[in-house]
Amino acid sequence: MPRGKKLQMQAVDAVIKLLYERTGTRKNGSDDPTGERNTTPDKAKPKPKERSIHPGAVAGVAECLELAPALHQALAKQIGKGDAKPRGIGEWLCAADTDIRAAVRHIRAALPEAGKALRREQGEMANLRRQTQDILGWMVVSTVMDGYQDENAELVKAWFDGIAFEIPLGRSPCLEVLTARWRGGKARFDLERPRYAYGEDDITPEKFQEIGFDDPTQPGTERVVEHVWRLVDRKFNGHHSKNKLSLTEKQELRARLQDDLEFARKRLRLVIDRDDLDSGLAFRPVVEAIHAALPQLHLIFVHSGREPDPGIFVVPADQLAAAVQGLLDELKKLP
């Protein structure tokens, strides 16, 4: 090959190499530095997770801070926004890019100062506890990822078999967070420590033995249903009767459940742990009988012995549960 022609081809190769470097393309038309072609269709690539802020969360937090000025001032100071209005703090606490764990820690850190201010002013400590609990409830409902935020969402309907939900979580406060988002309101946690994982609408007995069976592997279906009726009665009326409820009492309770469902999208729930070997509630005929008698109840199966689904919340379920429990512990310490 003539020398001039060879130099010309080398120059062309150099230009092509420079274009590759500037555009980031590789041989075979690939963006991969190894030169291998990417054959994965764009639609198969995982999409980034998203979450929507609950429409009532910011206003709910702002209202609570207005009703608890000592907490408002202490929290504004804690987050370095001393002149922030309640709504501004609410927007920061509930923002999509705010770490829920860090936000809860700021509230925990602000509580002692708010408590001291109330004691100096002889303020009502119960109000501080109540408003902080409600702020937590509004914050956490926005941690539910899109696709799980509604009971009728496709991902959620996949958990439902027509009678009960099979939710890939363990027994933890996260269950209240999820169902509160379905309900459309704030999460309502129970301040009694043994009930942290239950929520105010949860009527599940802490131990299966509360139902009163000698052999929990062979429950009498009718006796289980009667006990669930008494749990509902206790929730609404505070009764602790062990007697069988009358037909009239059951009709009134069923009407109350239906009214709550229609008016406030509120359901009491019974949670059954698949991994609790002492629970006879997991028997299908028992669940079907409970549903037939009380169709307004949320019947939910969980799995405490399995890893929870990592995609339901913006943070892993165990971290969200720890944040909730940590703040509830701080509230319990208030005098």
201-248 per-position pLDDT tens digit: 999 987 654 454 445 555 578 888 998 999 999 999 887 666 789 999
Considering the domain architecture, whether residues 162 and 183 belong to the same structural domain is answered as yes
Considering the domain architecture, whether residues 160 and 138 belong to the same structural domain is answered as no
pLDDT confidence bin for 44, thresholds 50/70/90: very low
Compute CA distances 208 → 79, 152, 165, 238, whole Å. Answer: 44, 31, 20, 20
pLDDT (0 to 100) of residue 42: 39
Q: Is 15 a domain residue? A: no
Considering the domain architecture, whether residues 102 and 218 belong to the same structural domain is answered as no
Does position 22 have pLDDT exceeding 60, yes or no? no
Q: Is 26 a domain residue? A: no
**Domain encompassing residue 292:** 154-312
Q: Is 37 a domain residue? A: no
Considering the domain architecture, whether residues 209 and 262 belong to the same structural domain is answered as yes
Considering the domain architecture, whether residues 119 and 183 belong to the same structural domain is answered as no
Compute CA distances 233 → 200, 227, 254, 331, whole Å. Answer: 14, 10, 10, 29
266-311 per-position pLDDT tens digit: 999 999 998 887 776 778 899 999 999 999 999 999 998 999 999 9
Rg (CA), the chain: 28
313, 143 in Cβ contact below 8 A?
A: yes
Considering the domain architecture, whether residues 223 and 241 belong to the same structural domain is answered as yes
Considering the domain architecture, whether residues 291 and 226 belong to the same structural domain is answered as yes
Q: Is 17 a domain residue? A: no
pLDDT (0 to 100) of residue 191: 85
Q: Is 45 a domain residue? A: no
- Mean pLDDT over residues 114-129, rounded? 90
Q: Is 28 a domain residue? A: no
Mean pLDDT of the chain: 83
pLDDT confidence bin for 197, thresholds 50/70/90: confident
Q: Is 138 a domain residue? A: yes
Considering the domain architecture, whether residues 98 and 243 belong to the same structural domain is answered as no
Considering the domain architecture, whether residues 303 and 161 belong to the same structural domain is answered as yes
Q: Which residues pair with 299 in a beta bridge?
A: 270
Considering the domain architecture, whether residues 220 and 304 belong to the same structural domain is answered as yes
pLDDT (0 to 100) of residue 91: 94
Classify strands 269-273 and 298-302 as parallel, antiparallel or unpaired. Answer: parallel
Does position 173 have pLDDT exceeding 70, yes or no? yes
pLDDT (0 to 100) of residue 241: 65
Structurally, the chain folds into a number of domains equal to 2
Considering the domain architecture, whether residues 108 and 216 belong to the same structural domain is answered as no
Considering the domain architecture, whether residues 90 and 162 belong to the same structural domain is answered as no
Q: Of all residues in the chain, what percent carry a pLDDT higher than 70?
A: 80
Most confident of 49-53, 56-60, 331-335: 56-60
pLDDT (0 to 100) of residue 242: 65
